């Protein structure tokens, strides 16, 4: 017994001695205005990544800390984070006391950013909206500058399209299978409901997915995590729309285990910043959660975001000189109102059921089932045996006369200026779409057939997703994440007739061809269609995608590292619902099924120099399937698959030096990314593309589908962000980005010309009984050309003052440079130098002139000054406040992007056009907003 007692005393002494080596830190987090505790605030030990979450009383506790100095950051969505330096003492509990967090009303800038990046999207949700992917709650100074200051000029982090980032809703990937990009309008206007976000930069580890080289954005809509209360806001702006109303109510987790959050908003404008761009959007959100017991919880999320907006046209410099930067050729007057012919209509509801299972204290499983359905429509005019109604059609502009007939033809020498002046006056008099003339033309036809109609390119997607994500703490310093996802897509694509414009019917034919070639559907030839009918093209795209990932993270005192791996399998096929007249044997029914299997590996290392300084490395190597869009190059009318298409190879890496201190936060990053084996498709009308056989049938001019395969790109550069608190109220910030984004090879160009099918049987080859309408143009010499659109250089400096009486003001200056136009791949093939009449190279090619014609245009640098400010008051139990910002204070006019027109597709035609001094087919450009403002008033109950 004596030995037992002594042994027990010895053990107790050992335990006590061990316990005395550990330290504890705790604190209580409250809202600055109300002094109420805030639940679910995350406190993080910066050096170790160890986290603690506040309970219902706002209290967090760190136990078993090493007795040394620690940097602790306290943060939650919608509030300005705080960082503390604390020295943990062995055997003692350090109480940080009450920590007050001030509401971060700058999150309202989400509204401003979305309107900026959404205004100039193409019909296919182009990459110009990539910066919307930066909407997140992170306080990284560089990321904030990239989103809110540089996003106005289409800045892309690391030069990457947003298809290389992963956007998730409750762990479910929201990137579209069609083009790889998220459709931001699917939850647009629901700022309050989407505030709870996590963001990882580059290939850094995410708890939800393997990710990609741009980063991962996770939006969490679990009802129980929303701060209880009511929020109502009213906003005004002069960007894409004028007004927004929004209201949100969150119950918090009630005693009976139920929690729910509802939110709704409306945004509207009779006319946005650009002429004729009307806007109407209604958004609704509901999330309901039932906590069944301590281990199980169910959450149902539903989102309905309807968005209808008028587009604005890209314009050449000639049109802008005549009509101004805000000019939009897509609209015209009808019955005293502006009517836009190019409307984008999005309505894709989301329903998601999530199950949360706390298997043990160290292991959890999140399972989701999601269904998204609805439509995306892009309207435009169609016409048969009639003139092009576009006011900026090249024959309506002065340059048509000065570039085409300077020395010969109908107008020679000194007559050209007078004719051009007359054309200029006529354009200014008839600068908008003439809806009255279209109706008159339709009603004057004896047959009742419409010469002009309004239709929409419609996509009706139905996407089913099921996934499960496992998280487990395998040991004190080892954690594991893993998941499996299945996605199935049925995408119905068709032309939908919207308006006969006074006529009685429309012919479902292609009037550029004759006989069977003109038929959209040989199974139902010579159809007459009316409003609501499908015509032109009609097909389904099917996709089945399975992917899985695992990730292991190891945390130690001086080093952390992680390893991740992924596998995916993608199956695509097309199912044609029309038997097209040109591709009678290659359009109706199912296409070949194409399958891609892909793998990826990534890893990273963090070296903690001390509690405030660390070095972080990340690297990834992966392959990924091409998108549906790039797999079927001419999906509207045939089942063809891009010849030899393969998966992309994506490689990336970055090295970071990070400082996190109470007064100073900074990050310096160097990155290097490559993308190989990319495929891109485009459609346009080209002149002088093909050889003229002289048979009267084949034509050197044609509407063509261009496919560029084997594209390689390199994005390398550096990032820097710094934030320093000069005083308790004044903060200075600086950010910089410098990159080189280039094509690194000469990819392959093929062109599909439907007209080749109309050549007699002896003159056209066939593939499996179908006409071979594809022409191989060989290499496009794109190597060392710049990737288009985004700035390679961006710099920002700013200062912010936050008064203890809950008002603040800030300003920043931004400089953006090295932005380039999107070049044509076809113009840089050897075909450019061939005479279409003979098929041989032109004589007497001027090398200097050729270099001038093919030189990539560089946009002028721009400087943007922005100011912001806000104030809040506590009135009884309510908080009332406002936020206001003015961007581009000095109203600088600048181009956000542009593209070469490839209509003049050979050296002779393009040189004649350019040397005239007034080219008819010069590049077209998009413009950014001039001086614009955003004001938001809100009240919290």
- Per-residue pLDDT band for 560 (boundaries 50, 70, 90) equals very high
What is the per-residue pLDDT across 792-835, written as a single tens digit (0 to 9) for each? 999 999 999 998 888 899 999 999 999 999 999 999 999 999 88
DSSP state of 193: T
Express each pLDDT in 360-417 by its tens digit: 999 999 999 999 999 999 999 999 999 999 999 999 999 988 886 544 444 445 667 7
Residue 840's CB is within 10 A of a number of other CB atoms, namely 10
720-753 pLDDT, tens digit each? 999 999 998 999 999 999 999 999 999 999 988 8
Confirm if 415 and 402 have CB atoms less than 8 A apart.
no
| 182-193: pLDDT as tens digits | 998 999 999 999
User: Across the chain, what does the average pLDDT equal?
Assistant: 87
pTM of the model: 0.89
- Please report where in the chains the tokens 């093929």 appear, as a residue: 750
pLDDT at 701: 60
Question: Has residue 117 got a pLDDT over 60?
Answer: no
Could you read off the pLDDT of 516-536 as tens digits, one per residue? Answer: 899 999 999 999 999 999 999
Question: If we measure between CA atoms, which residue out of 261, 299, 265 comes closest to residue 279?
Answer: 265
886-932 pLDDT tens trace:
999 999 999 999 999 988 888 988 998 898 888 989 999 999 999 99
Spatial separation of the C-alpha atoms in residues 344 and 125, rounded to whole Å: 10
**Cα distances (Å, whole numbers) of residue 842 to 274, 406, 673, 830, 853:** 43, 21, 40, 11, 15
pLDDT of residue 131: 35
Answer left, alpha or beta for residue 391, where phi above 0 means left and psi between -120 and 50 means alpha: alpha
**Cβ(233)–Cβ(936) below 8 Å:** yes
Task: Assign 3-state DSSP to the chain and report helix, strand, coil percentages, each to 5.
Answer: 15, 50, 35
- HEC per residue, 140-186: CHHHHHHHHHCHHHCCCHHHCCHHHEEEEECCEECECCCCCCECHHH
Cβ–Cβ under 8 Å, residues 306 and 282: yes
Query: What integer is the mean pLDDT of 425-439?
Result: 95
Which of 516, 677, 489 has the alpha carbon at shortest distance from 587? 516
For residue 124, name the pLDDT band (cuts at 50, 70, 90): very low
């Amino acid at each position: 017994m004596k030995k037992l007692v002594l042994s027990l005393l010895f053990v107790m002494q050992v335990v006590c001695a061990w316990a005395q080596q550990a330290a504890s830190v705790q604190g209580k987090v409250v809202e600055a205005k109300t002094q109420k505790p805030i639940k679910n605030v995350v406190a993080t030990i910066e050096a170790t990544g160890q986290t603690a979450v506040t309970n219902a009383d706002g209290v967090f506790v760190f136990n078993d800390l090493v007795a040394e100095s620690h940097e602790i950051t306290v943060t939650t969505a919608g509030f300005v984070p705080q960082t503390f330096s604390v020295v943990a003492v062995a055997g003692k509990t350090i109480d940080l006391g009450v920590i007050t967090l001030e509401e971060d009303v700058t999150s309202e800038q989400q509204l401003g950013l979305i309107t900026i990046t959404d205004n100039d999207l193409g019909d296919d949700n182009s990459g110009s909206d990539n910066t919307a992917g930066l909407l997140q709650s992170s306080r990284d100074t560089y990321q904030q500058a990239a989103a809110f200051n540089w996003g106005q000029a289409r800045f892309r982090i690391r030069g990457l399209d947003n298809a290389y980032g992963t956007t998730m809703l409750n762990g479910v990937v929201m990137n579209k299978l069609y083009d790889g990009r998220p459709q931001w309008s699917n939850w647009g206007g629901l700022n309050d409901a989407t505030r709870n976000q996590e963001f990882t930069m580059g290939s850094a580890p995410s708890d939800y997915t393997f990710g990609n080289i741009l980063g991962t954005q996770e939006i969490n809509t679990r009802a129980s995590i929303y701060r209880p209360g009511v929020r109502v806001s009213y906003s005004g702006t002069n960007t894409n729309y004028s007004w927004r109303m929004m209201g949100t109510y969150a119950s918090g987790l009630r005693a009976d285990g139920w929690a729910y959050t509802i939110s709704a908003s409306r945004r509207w404008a009779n006319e946005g910043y650009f002429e004729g761009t009307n806007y109407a959007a209604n958004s609704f959100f509901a999330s309901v959660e039932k906590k069944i017991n301590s281990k199980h919880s169910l959450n149902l999320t539903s989102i309905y975001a309807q968005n209808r907006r008028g587009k604005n046209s890209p314009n050449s410099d000639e049109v802008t000189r005549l009509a101004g930067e805000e000019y939009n050729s897509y609209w015209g007057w009808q019955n005293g109102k502006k009517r836009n012919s190019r409307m984008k209509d999005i309505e894709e509801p989301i329903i998601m059921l999530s199950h949360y299972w706390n298997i043990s204290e160290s292991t959890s499983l999140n399972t989701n089932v999601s269904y998204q359905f609805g439509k995306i429509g892009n309207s435009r005019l169609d016409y048969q045996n009639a003139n092009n109604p576009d006011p900026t059609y090249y024959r309506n502009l002065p340059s048509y006369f000065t570039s085409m007939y300077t020395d010969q033809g109908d107008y020679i020498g000194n007559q050209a200026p007078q004719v051009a002046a007359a054309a200029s006056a006529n354009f200014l008099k008839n600068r908008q779409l003439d809806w009255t003339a279209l109706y008159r033309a339709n009603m004057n036809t004896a047959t009742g057939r419409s010469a002009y109609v309004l239709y929409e390119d419609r996509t009706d997607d139905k996407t089913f997703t099921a996934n499960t994500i496992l998280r487990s703490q395998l040991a004190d310093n080892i954690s594991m994440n893993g998941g499996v996802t299945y996605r199935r897509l049925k995408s119905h694509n068709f032309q939908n007739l919207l308006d006969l414009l006074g006529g009685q019917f429309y012919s479902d034919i292609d009037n550029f061809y004759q006989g069977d070639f003109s038929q959209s559907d040989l199974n139902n030839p010579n159809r007459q269609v009316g409003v609501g009918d499908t015509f032109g093209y009609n097909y389904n795209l099917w996709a089945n995608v399975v992917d899985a990932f695992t990730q292991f993270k190891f945390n130690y005192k001086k080093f952390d590292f992680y390893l991740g791996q992924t596998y995916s399998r993608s199956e695509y096929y097309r199912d044609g619902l029309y038997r097209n007249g040109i591709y009678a044997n290659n359009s109706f029914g199912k296409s070949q099924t194409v399958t891609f299997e892909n793998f990826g590996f990534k890893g990273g290392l963090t070296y903690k120099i001390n509690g405030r300084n660390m070095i972080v490395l990340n690297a990834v190597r992966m392959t990924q399937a091409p998108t549906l869009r790039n797999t079927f190059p001419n999906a509207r009318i045939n089942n063809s698959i891009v010849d030899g298409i393969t998966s992309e190879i994506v490689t990336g890496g970055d090295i970071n030096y990070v400082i996190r201190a109470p007064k100073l936060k900074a990050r310096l990053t160097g990155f290097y990314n490559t993308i190989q084996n990319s495929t891109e498709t485009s459609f346009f009308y080209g002149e002088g593309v093909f050889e003229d056989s002289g048979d009267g049938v084949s034509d050197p001019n044609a509407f063509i589908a261009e496919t560029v395969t084997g594209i390689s790109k390199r994005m390398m550069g550096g990032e820097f962000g710094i934030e320093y608190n000069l005083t308790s109220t004044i903060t200075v910030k600086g950010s910089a980005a410098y990159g080189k984004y280039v094509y690194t090879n000469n990819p392959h160009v093929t062109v599909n010309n439907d007209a080749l099918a109309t050549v007699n049987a002896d003159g056209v080859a066939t593939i499996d009984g179908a006409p071979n309408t594809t022409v191989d143009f060989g290499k496009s010499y794109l190597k060392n050309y710049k990737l288009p659109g985004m700035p390679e250089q961006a710099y920002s400096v700013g200062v912010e003052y936050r008064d203890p009486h809950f008002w603040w003001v800030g300003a920043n200056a931004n400089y953006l440079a090295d932005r380039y136009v999107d070049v044509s791949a076809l113009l840089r093939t050897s075909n450019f130098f061939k005479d279409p009449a003979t098929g041989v190279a032109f004589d007497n090619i001027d090398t200097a002139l050729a270099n001038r014609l093919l030189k990539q245009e560089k946009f002028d640098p721009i400087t943007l000054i922005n100011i912001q400010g806000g104030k809040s008051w506590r009135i009884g139990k309510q908080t009332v406040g406002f936020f206001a910002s003015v961007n581009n204070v000095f109203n600088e006019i600048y181009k956000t992007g542009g593209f070469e027109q490839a209509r003049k597709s050979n050296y002779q035609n393009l040189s004649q056009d350019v040397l005239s001094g007034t080219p008819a087919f010069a590049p077209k450009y998009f413009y950014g907003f001039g001086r614009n403002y955003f004001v938001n008033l809100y009240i919290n109950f």
